[in-house]
Amino acid sequence: MSTVEISLPSKKYKRKVTVFSAALIIVSIACVYMGFNPIGIFTEFHFVRDLLGEMFMPNYKVLWNNSSIGFSIVQTLSMAFLGTLYGGIIAIILAFLAALNTMPLKIVRVITRFTLSLVRVVPILVVILIFVIAVGPGTFAGLLTLVITTIGTFGKLFAEIIENTENPPAEAIFSVGASRLQVIRYSIIPQILPSFIANLLYAFDINMRAAIGLGIFGGGGIGFELYMATHVLHYKDVTALISLIIVLVILVEKLSDYLRRKILGEGNLK
């Protein structure tokens, strides 16, 4: 006598179906609320064709005919470098105040960590708008924004790097009568210095990209030139500026990798 084995869906399969169905319902409600036709992503390409026709061929003459382009590039590089330098220094100081093995006072650690978390959660566009209102549009507002975002991004990371250092060297130095500052100088700093340098070079790479974007929102630099070209509908100039920005970002990235290899003595970076 044969038996029929009934196989029911597993709990894992039911959970996946539930999540997929919920996501599909949420997306459908969002599309209806916004009046957006999702099929249009695959069918409406005429506006892209029209835009590309207006943007090509690029007007590269603007790069050397407009004397302000070179000055804007220098402004952008200066904003990225100084924002990384000042923000990195402040982030390192706050990291030592927030780390458990360098700051014995709990109240100081709590306040510092709360400050770092507060700075970290504020979006960069909100920060640039605040500084544009406070000091006016220009490179100074962009610089202050990069300083704040660098502190928020790397302050907590630096504190974790300090706390993850090895304890035996510090205990050995402390056992022979060294002060807390001497323990930090001769035990902790040699361990964290390579990581700090690598992260600050990475921060410069990130801030370079951010400085370009901040220019569109009043931060000055090459981003402001891009915004102005878009504002007056000079799309061929926009394409030329975008090409310049791509080359500039690639060069900065390669420079950052080269400096990291030279300073840290690492091999080829992939």
**Predicted pLDDT of residue 19:** 87
Least confident span in 55-59, 134-138, 241-245, 258-262: 55-59
Residue 179 has pLDDT above 80, yes or no: no
CA distance 147 to 83: 5
Measured CA to CA in angstroms, residue 148 lies from 14, 88, 92, 95, 259 at distances of 46, 10, 13, 14, 24
Are the C-beta atoms of residues 157 and 113 closer than 8 Å to each other?
no
R_g over Cα of the chain: 26
CA distance 150 to 173: 33
**Predicted pLDDT of residue 190:** 85
For 127-176, what is each residue's pLDDT tens digit?
999 998 998 888 899 999 999 999 998 998 999 998 888 877 777 877 77
Domain ranges of the chain: 62-264
Are the C-beta atoms of residues 263 and 195 closer than 8 Å to each other?
no
CA distance 159 to 50: 51
Q: For the chain, what percent of residues have pLDDT higher than 70? A: 88
Residue 270 has pLDDT above 70, yes or no: no
- Architecture field, domain 62-264: Orthogonal Bundle (1.10)
Residue 268 confidence class, pLDDT cut points 50, 70, 90: very low
CA distance 248 to 223: 12
**Predicted pLDDT of residue 143:** 92
Tokens of 162: 């300090």
Four-CA torsion 216, 211, 251, 198, nearest 10 degrees: -160
**Predicted pLDDT of residue 10:** 74
Residue 87 has pLDDT above 90, yes or no: yes
**Predicted pLDDT of residue 253:** 86
Mean of pLDDT over the chain: 82
**Predicted pLDDT of residue 267:** 43
**Predicted pLDDT of residue 48:** 60
Residue 215 confidence class, pLDDT cut points 50, 70, 90: confident
CA distance 31 to 258: 47
Q: Would you tell me the crossing angle of helices 222-231 and 189-214 to the nearest 10 degrees?
A: 20
**Predicted pLDDT of residue 54:** 60
Q: pTM score > 0.85 for this model?
A: no
